[in-house]
Amino acid sequence: MSERLRTHAWPGTYDGEAKPRMGFFTDTSICIGCKACEVACKEWNRVPESPQGFTGDSYDNTVDLGANSWRHVAFVEQRKPLGIDAAERSLAEAANLDQLVAETGLQTYQEGDGLRWLMASDVCKHCTEAACLEVCPTGALFRTEFGTVVVQEDVCNGCGYCVPACPFGVLDQREGDGRVWKCTLCYDRLKDDQEPACAQACPTDSIQFGELDDLRERARARVEALAEAGAERAQLYLAGDDDGIGGAGAFFLLLDDPEVYGLPPDPVDATRDLGSTWAAAGVAAAALGAALAAVVLGGRR
Amino acid sequence: MGSNMAEQHPVGFQWVIEAKERGATVMHVDPRFTRTSAMADLHAPLRPGTDIVFLGAVINHIMSGRREFTEYVRHYTNARVIIKESFRDTDELDGYFSGFEQEDGLYRVDSWGYAGTSGELTAGKREQTGDVSGDQAHGAHGMKLEHGEPPEEDWTLQHPRCVFQILRRHYARYTPEMVEEVCGVPRERFLQIAETLCRNSGPERTGAICYAVGWTQHTVGVQMIRAASIIQLLLGNVGRPGGGVLALRGHANIQGSTDIPTLYDILPGYIPMPHPTSRDDLARFVELNGPDTGAWGSLDAYVTSLLKAWWGEAATADNQFAYSYLPRIDGDHSHYPMMLRMLDGRTRGFVVIGQNPAVGSANSGLMRRALANLEWLVVRDMSEIETAAFWHDSPEIEAGETRPEEIATEVFFLPAAAHTEKDGTFTNTQRLLQWHHKAVEPPGDCRSDLWFAYQLGQRIRARLAGSPLQRDRPLLDLTWDYPLQGPKQEPDADAVMQEINGRHADGRFVSRYQELRADGSTSCGSWIHAGIYADGVNQTARKKPGREQNWIAPEWGWAWPGNRHILYNRASADPQGRPWSERKRYVWWDADEGSWQSLGDVPDFEPTTPPDYTPPDGATGTSAIRGDAPFILHPDGLGWLYAPQGLVDGPLPTHYEPEESPVPNRLYAVRASPTRQRFERPGNPYNPADAQPGADVFPFVLGTYRLTEHHTAGGMSRTVPYLAELQPELFCEVSPQLAALRGLEHGGWATIATTRAAIEARVMVTERVKPLRVQGRTLHTVGLPYHWGRKGLVKGDAANELLGLALDRNVHISEYKVATCDIRPGRRPRGPALAALLSDYRRRAGVGR
């Protein structure tokens, strides 16, 4: 367990006011796709409606996270739980079931036809190494005393630098407003010792809120139990400190690879290598300068 | 089965998830792969409407393998009771039970009774007969037995006419092979499910069966539920923790609206509504409607206390407690017959509260034509729903079939308060009442339903004041004096609950229904709710957290009757009163204390009646129930594997095909339920069923259902932006195979047609919908959620337009869950072209308009 998790989030910043780092553990294995999280989030945070129309993408008509959708439930219909390749098989390919019946002599198509419907509620990850926060020139994005990453709506000037910086595509400018809006992990509720609206509304406790180190412990036990029960591809996503974002404040238990849910398998804090990049650039510039000098000087010779 | 619990009861489903976490196996047998199936350990899709074949085969599996819980079955069920010699089963009569009368299509039920009881007692002891309302159901309390015991029994269960043997013979033809052929469920999958049920039953274990409107909305809906009850009784899963048949009700508080009914044929607490036959004779009403034995043996006390609650001082022994004031029903006034009378111009006015028949009722177009024949219509709702708007915005107007000028109905739209804007209770699936407090005042002119009913009563009474007419006395003598409160002068809901609870003559609150008397010394607005205000405390408003009490949580809300959380919980102990096992310990007899004890529930039994009690001759009420007979609401105290009365369509569940089915009945010569209620009339044609000419015009099976994101007919969700955007359009769910067969394009449009209507929907091609192999052919299903209409933020055609009226005669519920249809690519035609398409379908199918 990293020091940063066990004690207080960013003690250097908040001194005595620092709180234990809080986060979400979203256990997708018990998500029933009710979307209560989406609605509760919008109700509490007064997020504008975002009608996308009928998408035909299973039961998902929210499409993705954005300025007006801070929770998004993904629906993945899988013919066989075999990872990304299976999920990508086209309907036309999968349609040839009559032949399957003829070959196997089965009476119905269900038999031998593993069908799985994955549901998962996505949200801002509240990264440990948050690129959005690093690139924000105004300080609108900040790290709270709970270790969460929040946009201050009265400071954001809508420059949009944070939008491409986010490795998950969470940050988004609101149309007609220009500013960036995203999950605050219900900062206002946290200040009143209330859990975030989505977690409170979740009927099955798929979305669990709490101190991050408690959540990680719970998640590890859960994924082990699932593995014992035969869920071979069950895995934790963003639950460690050693990934490209230094771990997330909102992490997930997935039943398949992240790509299956539309999540990046190896997200990287885009600013992480900035220091070495600048150093390399400096070396290159010096070399170039030396070369130019040589040319110029040589030319004079 | 018959339930999509994760989608329709997501909050209750948390306990299923929790049970699964603790090792429970969750099995889902349902035509569709839903969000419930996604969470289940196992899903078996079956052809819609074939549930009794599946359940009957489970019964057969239990009985042929001797897997029943023998001691439970012998002592607690009517397995040992011998049935009349004149009874004939469907095996002998090829699908009919004895007593069927072809001329009226109804059963004479005398031959179904217990041997040794007279025909007079079983058939004549009820007011309702099938030809009046079809509601013998409420006469189920009615059988007369000498001191609560069936006259002829065989405790060895060997007698050929005992219920156990009749049951065994009846279900012998319900085999795994039959399940495969009729339901489309492979026999191995069936056996896996049947075995899992058996293994999770017995002294150490229990299993529960959940159902919802996926069972009730069939022409054989009641019998599907009966079949589940038989399984649970055979396996000893009733009255024990973790067991039961859980009726997941159609929406919030629908349980409450049957307990204190919005139904035409019952009074509060399931007291039958009087018929004209009992005239002004209260004693005769009680004689006709209640048995002498069991908890219903005190019907006289329940109904007298109800009359005292309603008419107070005006209800005296001299006027039979104002019994003559109660309305009488003289026929079938259920929803569809009522709408059809309206269509025939025989109903002048209609008040609609909390309902949207222009979208939610089957054959919606016919319903709107009925509304157009009214003089006046009152709709109370939170927004102008389709039923309120039918006169200016409807598919008929869009198609040019009618115009607003031609509709004479005067429509009054009254704004209603939402549940957050008023005090009151919700009653949930397991009879638990929970009080909700008003959070905000209703806006503007919005008022609660209580305010409306109270004001309506006050205004009618003011109009009638001083009337000398006897017919006006029932209104003028009503106890109608609720305190008003708040800025909107709302009647105090708490005061109404006090009236429901009831009082003694000295004003003390009644604390249990056993205190009610037939001499007029008690009042009680609903006998099953007696005690809901015990000790002057609103028991439903108790919200002690679960962690601060035992797991039964008796101090959270209040469950009727008497805060008993598990009904018939005497069955959780063996005949001698000992727990069946330590693991399933719940209620037991404590000889030292001389009373029944429980882990924390209220024993659902006479508290001091010992297990070895045998009723003396002449005993009545619950004193006539043996100490080892847990089912105290029945006159014999037994769980009814076989229902000698109470049902109009047979004592045992039997498979009949739906009204519209593409295949024949493989089990009997009779195709569909002989007693189903049909309405042969213009505007309600039926698609030809199997083997009839024209059946091939509608080759696909159609089912309607709901989604988590919307509420029933949409009045409370299509108007809310955050909900509307989640499911913005009507779509049909079809398999890739059907899509290929009919050229349907994912995301495109399809037209779905029956002889009644044609609607359009976006196409969702999904492998969650499976074609099934049934009787040697491939059957395709079209799934349609029914939430949309022409009002609200998201609009679309209403799926119920497609359905015809075919009802289960026991309860008059229509077969929403299965019909036949055709589907073709593209949007439906507009204007006269739509009528032309429909008449083409009808011509090809050979049916009239």
User: What would the pLDDT profile of A182-216 be if each residue is shown by its tens digit?
Assistant: 999 999 999 999 999 999 999 999 999 999 999 99
Give the separation between CA B718 and CA B728, rounded to whole angstroms: 8
Q: Is A41 marked as a binding-site residue?
A: yes
- C-alpha span between A253 and A219 (Å, rounded): 7
Chain A residues touching residue B764 (CB < 8 angstroms): 56
Per-residue pLDDT at B12 = 93
Task: Give φ, ψ of B453 to 5 degrees.
Answer: -65, -40
A65 among annotated binding-site residues? no
**Adjacent-strand bridge partners of B556:** B543
A257 touching B (Cβ < 8 Å): no
B724 with B609, same domain: the answer is no
Contact check, Cβ <8 Å, B45/A110: yes
Tokens 């109904």 sit at which residue? B303
A197–chain B Cβ distance below 8 A for any pair: no
Residue in chain A nearest B736 by alpha carbon: A95
For residue B384 the two structure tokens come to 């102008």
With beta carbons under 8 A apart, name residues in chain B contacting A79.
767
Strand partners, B597: B588
End-to-end CA distance of chain B: 36
Q: Are residues B621 and B681 in the same domain?
A: no
Q: What pLDDT, on the 0 to 100 scale, is given for residue A11? A: 60
Final residue in a domain of this structure, among B574, B609, B632: B632
Same domain flag for B746 and B800: yes
> Residue B605's pLDDT is what?
97
Residue B604 and residue B683 in one domain: no
Rounded distance between C-alpha atoms, residue B625 and residue A20, angstroms: 62
Could you tell me if B691 and B798 lie in one domain?
Answer: yes
What's the pLDDT score for residue A295?
65
Is A88 marked as a binding-site residue? no
Compute the count of residue pairs across chains A and B with CB atoms less than 8 Å apart: 135
Nearest to B186 among A53, A106, A117 (CB): A106
Asked whether residue B733 is assigned to any structural domain, the reply reads yes
Contact A110 B771 (CB under 8 A): no
- Supply the pLDDT for residue A107: 33
Interface of A with B in 109-128 (CB under 8 A): 109-111, 115-119
Terminal-to-terminal C-alpha distance of chain A: 64
- Residue A72 CA to residue B344 CA, distance in Å, equals 51
Contact residues on chain A for B13, CB-CB shorter than 8 A? 32, 203-204
Give me the torsion for CA of B665, B666, B668, B670, rounded to 10°.
20
The reply to whether B687 falls in a domain is yes
Determine phi and psi for A64, rounding to 5 degrees: -160, 175
- The pLDDT of residue A81 is 41
Is A132 part of any known ligand binding site? yes
Per-residue pLDDT at B840 exceeds 70 = yes
Instruction: Name the residue in chain B with its Cα closest to that of A229.
Output: B23
Query: Is position B734 within any domain?
Result: yes
pTM above 0.90, yes or no: yes
For position A297, what pLDDT does the model report? 62
Q: Is A99 on the interface with B (CB under 8 A)?
A: no
Q: Give me the pLDDT at residue B333, please.
A: 92
What percent of chain B lies above the pLDDT cut of 70? 97
Tokens read off for B218? 């069939």
DSSP E strand stretches across B522-631: 522-523, 558-559, 587-590, 595-598
How far is A296 from B164, CA to CA, in rounded Å?
Answer: 110
User: What does the alpha-carbon distance between residue B428 and residue B565 come to, in Å, rounded to a whole number?
Assistant: 12
**Integer CA distances (angstroms), A119 to A54, A58, A74, A116, B517, in order:** 18, 10, 5, 10, 56
For B728-756, letters b (16+ CB in 10 Å) and e give bbbbbbbbbbbbbbbebeeeebbbbbbbb
| pLDDT of the residue at B790 | 97
Longest dimension (CA), chain A: 91
Mean local confidence (pLDDT), B251-261: 92
The residue of chain B nearest to residue A46, with distances taken between CA atoms, is B722
Residue with the two structure tokens 């993904």: A74
Q: Are A293 and A285 in contact (CB under 8 A)?
A: no
Across the interface, whether the CB atoms of B725 and A50 are under 8 A apart is answered yes
Residues of B in contact with A77 (CB under 8 A): 766-768
Of the candidates B17, B186, B767, the beta carbon closest to that of A77 is on B767
According to the annotation, is A63 in a ligand binding site?
Answer: no
What is the per-residue pLDDT for A10? Answer: 66
User: Distance between CA atoms of B241 and B15, rounded to whole angstroms?
Assistant: 14
Cα of B753 to nearest chain A Cα, Å = 22
Q: Which pLDDT belongs to residue B691?
A: 82
Residue A290: what pLDDT?
Answer: 73
Q: Say yes or no: B595 and B711 in one domain.
A: no
Could you give phi then psi for residue B42, rounded to 5 degrees? -155, 135
For residue B496, the model assigns a pLDDT of 97
Query: Contacts of residue B768 in chain A, CB cutoff 8 Å?
Result: 77, 115, 117
A275 is in an annotated binding site: no
Relative to beta strand B772-774, strand B424-427 is unpaired
Task: Place B848 in a pLDDT band, splitting at 50, 70 and 90.
Answer: confident
pLDDT above 90 for A35 = yes
Helix (H) or strand (E) holding A228: helix A212-228
B607, pLDDT greater than 60? yes
Sign of CA dihedral B355, B361, B366, B370: negative
Q: Report the alpha-carbon distance of residue B270 to residue B138 in Å, rounded.
A: 8
pLDDT more than 90, % of chain B:
90
B628 and B681 inside one domain: no
pLDDT digits (tens, 9 = 90+) for B196-205: 999 999 999 9
pLDDT band at A299 (very low <50, low <70, confident <90, very high): low
Q: Are residues B708 and B580 in the same domain?
A: no
* Nearest beta carbon to residue A117 from set B33, B737, B772: B33
Q: Is the pLDDT of residue A150 over 50?
A: yes
CA distance A109 to A93: 15
Give the lowest-confidence range in B35-49, B106-120, B342-356, B461-475. B106-120
A13 assigned ligand-binding residue: no
d(CA B616, CA B146): 10
DSSP letters for B182-232:
II---HHHHHHHHHHHHHT-SSS----EEE-HHHHSSTTHHHHHHHHHHHH
Which residue is associated with the tokens 């069939």?
A: B218
Q: pLDDT band at B148, cuts 50/70/90?
A: confident
Looking up residue B724, the CATH number of its domain turns out to be 2.40.40.20
Nearest chain A residue to B20, by CA:
A30
Chain A CB contacts of B794 below 8 Å:
51
| A220 backbone dihedrals φ, ψ, rounded to 5° | -65, -40
With beta carbons under 8 A apart, name residues in chain B contacting A97: 736-737, 771
Query: Domain A3-79+115-270 has what CATH class?
Result: alpha beta
Q: Which residues pair with B576 in a beta bridge?
A: none
What residues in A contact B732, CB-CB < 8 Å?
Answer: none
Residue B621 has pLDDT above 50, yes or no: yes
Q: How does pLDDT run across B529-558, given as a tens digit for each residue?
A: 999 999 999 999 999 999 999 999 999 999
Write out the two tokens for A288: 């170039």
Task: Please indicate whether, in this complex, the C-beta atoms of A61 and B727 are within 8 angstroms of each other.
Answer: yes
3-state percent helix, strand, coil for chain A, nearest multiple of 5: 35, 15, 50
Q: Which residue on chain A is closest to B186 by alpha carbon?
A: A107
The mean-pLDDT minimum among A61-70, B132-141, B251-260, B282-291 falls in B132-141
B241-254 pLDDT per residue, tens: 999 999 999 888 89
Instruction: Please compute the mean of the pLDDT values over residues B799-812 and round it to a whole number.
Output: 96
Q: Are A271 and A134 in contact (CB under 8 A)?
A: yes
> Which residues touch B814 (CB under 8 Å, ≥6 apart)?
B217, B336, B361, B362, B803, B805, B806, B807
What is the average pLDDT score of chain A? 84
Give the length of chain A: 301
For the range A149-155, what are the long-range contacts, defined as Cβ-Cβ under 8 Å and sequence gap of 24 or more?
A149/A124, A149/A249, A150/A184, A150/A185, A150/A187, A151/A179, A151/A180, A151/A181, A151/A182, A151/A184, A153/A179, A153/A181
Question: Which member of A54, A111, A204 has the closest CB to residue B13?
Answer: A204
Determine which helix (DSSP H) or strand (DSSP E) holds B814, and give its type and residue range: strand B813-814
pLDDT exceeds 80 at position A95: no
- Kindly determine whether residue A52 and residue B725, on different chains, have CB atoms separated by under 8 Å: yes
Q: Mean pLDDT: which of A225-229, A270-274, B495-499, B689-693 is highest?
A: B495-499
Are A45 and A69 spatial neighbours (Cβ–Cβ below 8 Å)? Answer: no
Q: What is the mean pLDDT of residues B809-816?
A: 95
In terms of residue numbers, what domain contains B809?
A: 677-845
- Rounded to the nearest angstrom, the minimum Cα separation between B766 and chain A is 8
Residues B686, B812, single domain; the answer is yes
**Which pLDDT value is given to residue B145?**
77
A44 annotated as belonging to a binding site for a ligand? no
Q: pLDDT tens, B392-411?
A: 999 999 999 999 999 999 99
Q: Are residues B607 and B717 in the same domain?
A: no
Residue spans per domain, chain A:
3-79+115-270, 274-301
**Chain B interface mutation, best of A31, A200, A204, highest count of B Cβ atoms under 10 Å:** A204
Residues of chain B found within 8 Å of residue A203, distances taken between Cβ atoms: 10-11, 13-14
- Strand, coil or helix: B243: coil
Instruction: Tell me: pLDDT of A240 over 70.
Output: yes
Predicted pLDDT at B802: 98
Residue B134 has pLDDT above 50, yes or no: no
Least confident of A178-182, B276-280, B389-393: B276-280
Looking at the complex, report in whole angstroms how far the Cα of residue B75 sits from the nearest Cα belonging to chain A. 39
- In this predicted structure, what is the pLDDT of residue B276? 83
Between CA B496 and CA B508, with CA B502 as vertex, the angle to 5 degrees is 115
Q: Which residues of chain A are within 8 Å of residue B708 when distances are taken between CB atoms? A: 33-35
Q: Is A241 annotated as a binding residue?
A: no
Q: Is the CB of B768 less than 8 angstroms away from the CB of A106? A: no
Q: How many Cα atoms sit within 13 Å of B219 on the Cβ side?
A: 24
pLDDT in tens, B696-752: 999 999 999 999 999 999 999 999 999 999 999 999 999 999 999 999 999 999 999
- Which residue on chain B is closest to A106 by alpha carbon? B186
Report yes or no on B278 lying in a domain: no
pLDDT of residue B636 exceeding 50, the answer is yes
Q: What is the ipTM of this complex?
A: 0.93
Residues B717 and B831 in one domain: yes
Query: Does one domain contain both B684 and B814?
Result: yes
Q: Residue A266 and residue A258: Cα distance in Å, rounded? A: 9
Contact A124, A182 (CB under 8 A): yes
Is A20 annotated in a binding site? The answer is no
Residue to substitute from B17, B189, B729, interface A, most A β-carbons within 10 A: B17
Confidence of residue A277 (pLDDT cuts 50, 70, 90): low
Q: What is the CA radius of gyration of chain B?
A: 27
pLDDT of residue B277: 75
Select from A210, A222, A33 the least CA-distant residue to A120.
A33
Using only C-alpha atoms, chain A has a radius of gyration, in whole angstroms, of: 23
The beta strand positions in B444-556, using DSSP E, are: 484-485, 490-491, 503-504, 522-523
Work out how many domains chain B is built from and give that number. Answer: 2
